[in-house]
Chain A
């Protein structure tokens, strides 16, 4: 490109955004590294440097292992199950039928609700005895089922994961649908003539053509899962016990409920490392797949 037209002075355009981004996003992260080796409590400004003590105490506590495990389970399930359901719905919606727009909107509507409203609604759905699921089961005569979803150590995490999938599936469906519309009909026809079955058509024509939407959806849901915070915060308070603590929720609670900013920062650094490592692996794997597809 002609460098007389695209002068270096163009870089001035980046400055306002860069300023915001560095002050309110990058600099705080650097600050987090500093706080992580102090006993800062958020209020008293003259804090002491305590070396790696925060990290040491974290590694001895159950909450670290539990929240790492929960975050990984949360991410794995929302990514795999969420995207499979979304893809199936998109394939169903891609059929040559009327009222496509109606169905699409119906799946998209939950996305428009604030997480806080979704949390309220699903707290009702999951209530033991009076809740939607409990009273429905009672109505059809299944009274001996355990309906204490959010209060149970084994079920609470999966219950909030289901809410996350419900809320976010609409976006993935729309992105998959847009991808499906780029699959050329001729290609599918040619495949049919060559005698390929339904599964083969999907596996060797549709899926490779969907590579970009798959990459986008998986990347977004991986990031969304690793950052999970809303539903533990609104619906379970991380409980019962610490059974629904995700990394970000545990960090938030440490900082703002327990007033341990230093320790929370150390947890933040650990979370950050985990999030970045997983995201990079995902992006690299997906890129490789996309190129070879």
Chain B
């Protein structure tokens, strides 16, 4: 009986290891090729046959890595802060007031989830110009905030309804706390688990988005990491450029990967928020 379950466990591990290997093989090749010198043209299937950071250095300068990284950090953090504040505030009345208006608002926001950003983009360039908003490095932030609202308000509303008891607020009301105070001092701090979830789910897509950035940002030195990657477009057809291209891919993904390994617990918890409780 015991050996049987041991064999079973080993079998599961073996199966999982094979699946993980198949899943990650493209990334392993990318890593091994990025560690070659740019002119090493041996078949990428010969793993790790050279160790040098030459390709990384070349990619680093070509994509203006420190500047692109800084741009990504600014774009993502500013957007996420606004998303958290706006979405948490919007969710509060939608969760607390039981009326047709509040139900309508909830569905109105949620419906935005099905709208593709590319569709909105056709009129938006024109609109942004006529509103007098300057086109440039920070214009994508407007789109990031808006695009994140449907999912974030959905998460926040669900959480306020299910996990922030109204009694706490009643107590505060009796103690004479106004609406503002009640929200910012009592409700908002209690929303921390969803706030983490919003920061992670929305932060990851904003960090990785190339589309809005590509449309609005025209200067090389304004570009965040994914747009800096666009400079390598075309290189994927040319095997002579692969090592540098792959090094750039690794550099582009590295910040988020490090973040993930440092904060794994929060990533997993953040992703499942709202999916278990419903």
Chain A residues at the B interface, C-beta cutoff of 8 Å: 1-2, 4-11, 13-14, 16-18, 20-21, 23-29, 31-32, 35, 42, 89, 92-93, 95, 97, 99, 101, 103-117, 119-125, 127, 130, 132, 135-136, 139, 166, 171, 174-175, 178-179, 182, 212-213, 215-216, 223, 226-227, 229-230, 234, 248, 251-252, 255, 261, 264-265, 268, 271-272, 275-276, 279
Contact = CB atoms under 8 A, between A and B. Distances in A.
A112 B124 contact: no
Chain B residues touching A, majority SS: helix
30 contacts: A4-B173, A5-B170, A10-B93, A10-B96, A11-B101, A14-B90, A21-B149, A23-B146, A24-B127, A26-B112, A31-B126, A95-B12, A101-B264, A105-B264, A109-B260, A112-B204, A112-B208, A112-B256, A114-B253, A127-B236, A136-B45, A174-B271, A178-B276, A213-B275, A216-B278, A230-B211, A251-B118, A251-B122, A271-B116, A275-B116
Contacts of B24: 106, 109
B272 A175 contact: yes
B9 A29 contact: no
Interface of A is mostly: helix
B86 interface: yes
Contacts of B260: 105, 108-109, 112
Given A10-B179, A106-B23, A264-B122, A121 B249 contact: yes
Given A10-B96, A268-B122, A272-B119, A17 B12 contact: no
B80 interface: no
A261 B122 contact: yes
A38 to B, nearest CB: 12
Interface stretch (B50-58, B190-198, B225-233): B225-233
B12 A29 contact: no
A121 B276 CA distance: 33
B124 A24 contact: yes
Contacts, number: 258
Given A10-B97, A121-B246, 8 more contacts: A9-B179, A21-B112, A24-B146, A114-B225, A117-B229, A124-B246, A139-B45, A178-B276
B120 interface: yes
Contact of B97 (A11, A17, A171, A234): A11
A32 B122 contact: yes
Contacts of B179: 7, 9-10
Residue in B45, B90, B145, B275 whose Cβ sees the most chain A Cβ within 10 Å: B275
Contacts of A114: 207-210, 225-226, 229, 252-253
Contacts of B101: 11
Contact of B13 (A97, A115, A229): A97
B86 A265 contact: no
A213 B276 contact: yes
Interface of B: 9, 12-13, 15-16, 19-20, 23-27, 29-30, 43-45, 85-87, 89-90, 92-94, 96-98, 101, 105, 109, 112-116, 118-127, 131, 142-143, 145-147, 149, 153, 166, 169-170, 173, 179, 183, 204, 207-211, 225-226, 229-230, 232-233, 235-237, 239, 242, 245-246, 249, 252-253, 256-257, 260-261, 264, 267-268, 271-272, 274-278
